Amino acid sequence: MSRLTITDRRERALVAAADATLSVAALARVGRRRPSAPRRIVCLRLERIGDLLMTLPAFADLKAAFPHASIDVVVGGWNRDIAGAIPGVDGVETLDAAWLSRDGSGSGLPSLLRDAARWRSRRYDLAVNFEPDIRGNLVMAAIGAGWTAGFTSGGGGPLLDTALEYDTAIHTTDNLRALVRAITGEAADHGEPALTIPAGNREEAARLLARFNGAPGIGIHVSGGRAIKQWPASRFREVARRLVHDRGAAIVLTGTPGDRVQIDGVLEALPPDRALDLSGDRSLLVVAAVLERLDLFVTGDTGPMHLARAVGTPIVAIFGPSQPWRYGPRGVRDRVVRIDLPCSPCNRIRVPPARCSGHTPDCLAGVDVASVMAAIDDVLDEVTR
């Protein structure tokens, strides 16, 4: 059922007004022809790590359709290393949008438009914006490609030659692949390619995990990234304790420096020889290389969840307000643990309901340790069969 909040209605009204202002741009597109064999392609994916990783299959489809094209991607600076490890990507540029930065840094739209305009000299044949956001469409327009493609849902439709409505009833990956199909006219499925992790990062991962002498390796990402998506850290702690005690597992904890308190709470419950703290400023490719060697990854709806998916590691994901059919992992051995409530999943992540602020929301409070352990046992039993 669709629930439109006052904020939703205001955003739609603003988008409609902006598109009306941009409608003259559509007149300038009359007579343009879609390139049948583009030589230079640029793709925008400015959001967070999970958003970029859910785009991997779309990149694969685009490369398969235009195998001789050079493909550049434009990402937030936090995703530079990961973008460079995507199969088929030839060049990486960064634009840090202030509205997407977690630490308040980044540039405003006027600065981003000036930066993007510098790439006009490259004469891209095709530009694709994988973000359903008017600001991204404006940035893409500044690049001056011969043909543009993107989503109309967040505004900026008059700037697009190939325009698609974003479908919130299907997975993000499926939306992005649908956009590529609209461009290429091909209904191909080229699978979900894994990241190309450099040998040096794999060697470092092997060194970090050597201390566990072959014990089952299980990763845990305690932080939910946002308070509204946070399963209680005390429950992650209990899951880790049981895995060590019952399964003889080695626990690898991922996170950022800002997750220090939550991670330390888990570490206190574990024997030092059965825990590895991988949090801090490590390269995301080192984290990916470690995840690739683990038997399982336990997390909420987070970017590291998608990183584990991108290297083929089985996942147990704890979902609350997020909609799993849009963002959940879909590997054959992945499991999503959640409860059904009349109000959940509301997907109100950036503007949570007032009744769910300041404490664990009911949709996550209702997910108990026993349910998560049951999913973990199910996956581990399948992995070891």
Q: What is the pLDDT of residues 87-110, one digit of tens each?
A: 999 999 999 999 988 777 889 999
Which pLDDT belongs to residue 7? 46
Q: Please, what are the domains in the chain? A: 6-184 (3.40.50.2000), 199-384 (3.40.50.2000)
Sign for the CA dihedral angle at 40, 131, 171, 102 comes to: positive
Q: Please state the rounded mean pLDDT for residues 187-191.
A: 72
Q: What are the backbone angles phi and psi of residue 242, rounded to the nearest 5°?
A: -65, -40
The CA distance from 214 to 63, in Å, is 38
Which pLDDT belongs to residue 103? 74
12 token code pair: 């739609």
Which pLDDT belongs to residue 6? 46
Which pLDDT belongs to residue 118? 96
The answer, yes or no, to whether residue 280 has pLDDT greater than 90, is: no
Phi-psi region of 191 (alpha: psi -120 to 50; beta: other; left: phi over 0): left
The CA distance from 94 to 44, in Å, is 10
Please state, in angstroms and as integers, the Cα–Cα distance from residue 208 to each residue in 58, 211, 252, 286, 291, following that order. Answer: 33, 7, 10, 10, 11
DSSP H or E segment with residue 237: helix 233-247
Please state, in angstroms and as integers, the Cα–Cα distance from residue 235 to each residue in 247, 305, 361, following that order. Answer: 17, 18, 14
13 token code pair: 């009204």
The CA distance from 274 to 261, in Å, is 19
The CA distance from 153 to 165, in Å, is 5
350 token code pair: 């950036």
Dump strand ranges (E) for 209-292: 217-221, 250-254, 275-277
Dump strand ranges (E) for 196-281: 217-221, 250-254, 275-277
More confident residue, 101 or 372: 372
In this predicted model, what pLDDT tens digit does every residue of 135-160 receive, in sequence order?
999 999 999 999 999 999 889 888 99
Which pLDDT belongs to residue 270? 97
The CA distance from 161 to 5, in Å, is 31
The answer, yes or no, to whether residue 190 has pLDDT greater than 80, is: no
Please state, in angstroms and as integers, the Cα–Cα distance from residue 237 to each residue in 212, 221, 243, following that order. Answer: 20, 11, 10
The CA distance from 65 to 68, in Å, is 9
- pLDDT classification of 125: cutoffs 50, 70, 90: very high
